[in-house]
Structure formats: structure tokens, C-alpha cells
Amino acid sequence: MLPATLIDEVGYLSYSNRHADLRFELISRRYGARSTIVTTNKPFPEWSEVFPNAACIVALVDRLVHRAEVISIEGESYRLKEARERTEARARQRSAKKSYPEDRSCLMSHKPLLPSGRRRGLPFIVPDDWTPDQAFAVFELLDDLVTVITDFYGDRLHELLRERRRPAVATRATDCGPPF
């Protein structure tokens, strides 16, 4: 068994009864024998929102706080503060330069709509001030999201992807257009 275990971001997601049971089993096995560190943005009375249908919440919290040192950190999240500052800086940059040219005919062109060169997807540009660690964290998050969506929708998602990626087949010679 590991000497210390860190459970990060309890409260970020809601958990099913099965997840609550697994979390309770982990805490119970470590109770009194090994250290467990838990980070959360929810006070203990609100854990019933995190584990909405679980009967083991009271026992789980009891085991966690018995002989524990609870450290409460008050104040604004540094991530939220930095995000607000970036948003304000971008808003200032956007207002400083005009985004539409006087001749708006180019807006109807067939150029790609997104910075990635794609016509579909999210209009996202990687900020200049991102570190490789931040980029990697987003990459991992997106990879996890793809896994969750794929697990949930399974075969139906693969069918949709195949349908959308299948090239259009012309049914008549006139649909093909001129030969040259």
C-alpha cells in the first residue's frame, strides 16, 4: 500500500453510488494505517451533492476527519484571477484593433473559418503565454474527454463518424459536373 495517497478535486464531478462505494472502500482500507490527502472545493456538509445517492457519505467523512488536520484555504482561486486578467487583456486588445475591414466582401470568401484551418470545431488559438505544462494539461483533459464520450456512446458514435467521413457518391453522371 502506498505511504500517502492524494485524491484531488473531490467535488468537481458528481459520482454514482458505485464511485462512492469505491471511494469509501479506499478510505476504509487506508483508515488508521496510511495517510490520505484530499483536496476539494466543497465543505463536508455539501458532499451529499457530490455523492447524491450514496449512503456511505457520513462514514466516509467520519473516517477522513478522524485524527486529521483539515486545512481550509479562503480567498479567490489563482486560476480564476489569472483567467479574469487574461480575459480583460484580450478584451483590451480586441477593442484596440478593428476586426472588420472596410471592404467586407472578403467575409464571404471560401477561406477556412478557424485558426486551425478547419471549417468545423472550436475557434481556439493557443495563448502565447501558455507553458508546455499547461498545454499538456489541456491535451490530457481533451484525451480524457474523448475517452469518456467514446465509452458512453460506443458503437453509435463510431457509426456517425463513419457516415460523416464517407465521401459523397454521385448517383448520376450529371451530378459529377463537367469533365474538365
Does residue 106 fall inside a structural domain? no
Buried b (16+ CB within 10 A) or exposed e, 104-116: eeeeeeeeeeeee
Give the residue-averaged pLDDT of 151-180. Answer: 67
pLDDT at site 106: 46
Does residue 177 fall inside a structural domain? no
Q: Is 47 exposed, middle or buried (0-12, 13-18, 19+ CB in 10 A)?
A: buried
Last residue of a domain, one of 65, 80, 98: 65
Last residue of a domain, one of 65, 86, 108: 65
> Which of 11, 15, 51 is CA-nearest to residue 59?
51
Does residue 74 fall inside a structural domain? no
pLDDT at site 176: 53
Does residue 9 fall inside a structural domain? yes
Q: Which residue has the higher pLDDT, 109 or 10?
A: 10
Does residue 26 fall inside a structural domain? yes
Q: Which residue has the higher pLDDT, 85 or 12?
A: 85
In angstroms, the CA 58 to CA 40 distance is 16
Question: Whole domain around residue 22: which residue ranges?
Answer: 4-65
Whether the Cβ atoms of residue 26 and residue 5 lie closer than 8 Å to each other: yes
Query: What pLDDT, in 10s, does the model give residues 77-92?
Result: 778 888 888 888 888 8
Does residue 33 fall inside a structural domain? yes
Query: For the whole prediction, is pTM greater than 0.85?
Result: no
Last residue of a domain, one of 20, 50, 65: 65
The structural domain count of the chain equals 2
The strand pair at 35-40 and 4-10 is best described as parallel
